Amino acid sequence: MRTSALLLITLLSISSSHAFEISDNFWETGQAVFHVGISGSSPTGGTWNDAFKRSMAAWSSVGSFEFVAIDDYLDPCIDRGEGLFGDGATGVDFGASVCGSEFGESTLAVTLSAGQCLNQQCTGGFTITDADIVFNDGVTWDVYSGSLRLDGSSEFERVALHELGHALGLNHSTADAAIMRAFVSDTNSLQSDDIAGIASIYGAEEATLANIYGVTLVAPDNATISGPNNSNNLSGVLSSSDNQLDGKSLDLYQYTFENDSLIDIQLDSQSFDPFLYLVRVSATQASLPSSTFVDDNSGLGNNARINRSIQAGTYWLGVSSANNNAQGSYDVSIISSTSNPSSSFETFTSIYDVDVLINPNPNISGSLESTDFEFNNKFLDLVQIEVTTASAVKIDLSSSDFDTSLLLVDIVNNEVGTLALQNDDGGSGANSRIETTLQPGTYWLGVTSFDPNESGNYDIAISLVLP
Ligand SMILES: [Zn+2]
């Protein structure tokens, strides 16, 4: 269920420098699927579709964001039931109007972005779920490279490049040469300022481990490990056809640890001297040096073992060898344990006569019960958290018993302050998620249900959001 949606319109004007500007909006997956089925061809430069897809590929090649083209037509203006433009399916076409509204007098094209707000006021931007593009049919278009022609025609491919920049979350740049400058110019390719812009949202291409090493990732069964206690085992074979890292074969597995955990990973082989990597990766698959761990011989014999506490997050587990050209089978055992925080609740009664549970642990378990405080016929638990240093946080509320709804307010001088965030389904399934930056202070997390009179167990996980 969507809590709120916002429509953003960005324009490109004809005519004749700080630099890139990002919107607060981004594709959560780092990927946007475009239906590309514009009919017809330009007078001298081939089909519109080829030009549009070249522009998509240009953006995909310079950063960790990817445009994916599907070769079919989708009317960018069609309403597919979730609000105009916010249909979650992204199309492109020429149009005599912007889906019913007139083009501005000098407007060449419009990108219509929609998504799910990150907070109730939508002041923190939104995760983009749709970005339709309409080119002005009243303009004479062609496709060509180089300087703008003086014959009055507009060049389609560089305008597509510009609009796709809006679609991925960039605003206009003040850099003279940038493709994201507000006005069309002789620039017909992505410039360093544009590339810095996309990198600031999605991460730089160079920072990606997979890109550096050209590695293939494997997501093993049970790749999500959640607390309080969990284990996973896998077996594999290191071979000469694997990814190679410094002359050594490398198998990479991706695991997500949902809680801060004490982990014990053992890598054993009878065939070679194993070498173990554990590397935390960001949402854009950049490695985080502060959470990169390696081991050669901490296990039995020559075996490798990493036994330590780690923060919740996504990790790549690398199996390699201490020596070059080593091959053979191996076994990995992962044991993860999370301290169970549910017994550490203290309770106090707030000035609102509501019981507030105080819990200093980042992972909190509780249950909504019919004896709880009731608000709009929904049961409510309040959990107080203290933030000591300004932090970008991700707060997940999950339950298999009810459709969760998560509230976050700040408490100033024992009163509810100005911050009031709410989320219903921002997490997986019907779970809730709030991502925001919290200044030092006191906050109450409200745990409630989307539907009235629901009860059951829930878990809250608070983690730092990675860059
Ligand atoms: Zn623009």
The DSSP-derived string for 296-334 is SSSSSTT-EEEEEEE-SEEEEEEEEESSTT--EEEEEEE
12 with 136, same domain: the answer is: yes
Alpha carbon of 23 to ligand 1 centroid (Å): 12
Please say which residue of 205, 223, 240 terminates a domain. Answer: 205
Residue 465 CA to ligand 1 center (angstroms) comes to: 30
One domain, residues 48 and 132? yes
62 and 160 fall within a common domain: yes
Please, which residues bridge with residue 66 across strands? 31
Q: Are strands 217-218 and 248-257 parallel, antiparallel or unpaired?
A: parallel
Indicate if 281 and 365 belong to the same structural domain. no
Distance 43 CA to ligand 1 centre (A): 24
Neighbours of 188 (CB within 10 A): 17
CATH number where 289 lies: 2.60.120.380
Take residue 18 and report the two structure tokens written for it: 């700080």
The one-letter amino acid code at 381 reads D
Q: Say whether both 164 and 219 belong to one domain.
A: no
The structure's pTM equals 0.46
Residues 391 and 330 in one domain: no
Each as own residue / partner, the long-range contacts of residues 187-196 (CB below 8 Å, 24 or more positions apart, any chain) are: 187/158, 188/145, 188/146, 188/155, 188/157, 188/158, 188/161, 189/58, 189/158, 189/161, 190/58, 190/59, 190/62, 190/161, 193/19, 193/20, 194/20, 194/62, 194/165, 194/170, 195/62, 195/63, 196/19, 196/20
Domain ranges, residue 225? 209-337
- CA 46 to centroid of ligand 1, rounded, Å: 24
CA of 10 to the centre of ligand 1 (A): 6
The number of residues making up the chain comes to: 467
12 alpha carbon to ligand 1 midpoint, in Å? 4
C-alpha 157 – ligand 1 centre gap (Å): 14
Distance 165 CA to ligand 1 centre (A): 8
Q: Residue 174: what residue type? A: T
Q: Are residue 25 and residue 154 in the same domain, yes or no?
A: yes
Strand partners, 71: none
Q: Measured between alpha carbons, how far is 253 from 218 in angstroms, rounded to an integer?
A: 5
Q: Assess whether 175 and 289 both reside in one domain.
A: no
Query: N- to C-terminal Cα distance for the chain?
Result: 28
d(CA 313, CA 8): 32
Distance (angstroms) between ligand 1 centre and the Cα of 219 equals 39
- Tens of pLDDT, residue by residue over 36-88, are 999 999 999 999 999 999 999 999 888 778 898 989 999 998 754 444 445 66
Count: domains in the chain: 3
Q: Residue 130 sits in a domain of what CATH number?
A: 3.40.390.10
Task: Decide if 314 contacts 281 (C-beta within 8 A).
Answer: yes
The per-residue pLDDT for range 319-378, each reduced to its tens digit, is 999 999 899 999 999 988 875 443 345 555 565 656 666 655 567 788 898 888 877 788
Q: Give yes or no: residues 23 and 171 share one domain.
A: yes
Q: Which of 189, 205, 221 is the last residue of a domain?
A: 205
Q: How far apart are CA 447 and CA 322, in angstroms?
A: 49
Q: What is the pLDDT of residue 87?
A: 60
**Cα–ligand 1 centroid distance for 352 (angstroms):** 48
Contact assessment for residue 132 and residue 86, using Cβ atoms and an 8 Å cutoff: no
Q: What spacing in Å lies between the alpha carbon of 151 and ligand 1's midpoint?
A: 22
Alpha-carbon span 129 to 12, nearest angstrom: 21
Which regions of the chain are under pLDDT 70? Answer: 1-19, 79-88, 119-124, 204-223, 225-228, 282-290, 339-362, 388-389, 413-414, 464-467
CA of 173 to the centre of ligand 1 (A): 9
CB 133 within 8 A of CB 175: no
CA of 40 to the centre of ligand 1 (A): 24
Sign of the C-alpha dihedral, residues 11, 14, 18, 19?
Answer: positive
Which segments of 180-274 does DSSP mark as H helices, in order?
A: 192-202, 209-213
- The answer on 347 and 322 residing in a single domain is no
Task: Identify residues whose C-beta is under 5 A from ligand 1, the ion.
Answer: 12
pLDDT at 285: 55
- The contacts of residue 270 (CB under 8 Å, 6+ apart) are 328, 329
C-alpha 131 – ligand 1 centre gap (Å): 13
Phi, psi of 213, deg, nearest 5: -100, -5
CA–centroid distance, residue 185 to ligand 1 (Å): 12
Q: What angle do CA 122, 126, 132 make, to 5 degrees?
A: 120
Choose one of 156, 179, 205: the last residue of a domain. 205
Mark whether 194 and 244 lie in a shared domain.
no
Separation of CA 184 and ligand 1 centre (Å): 9
* Residue 282 shares a structural domain with residue 393: no
How many A from CA of 314 to the centre of ligand 1?
A: 35
Interval between CA 11 and ligand 1 midpoint (Å):
5
CA 330 – ligand 1 centroid, Å: 53
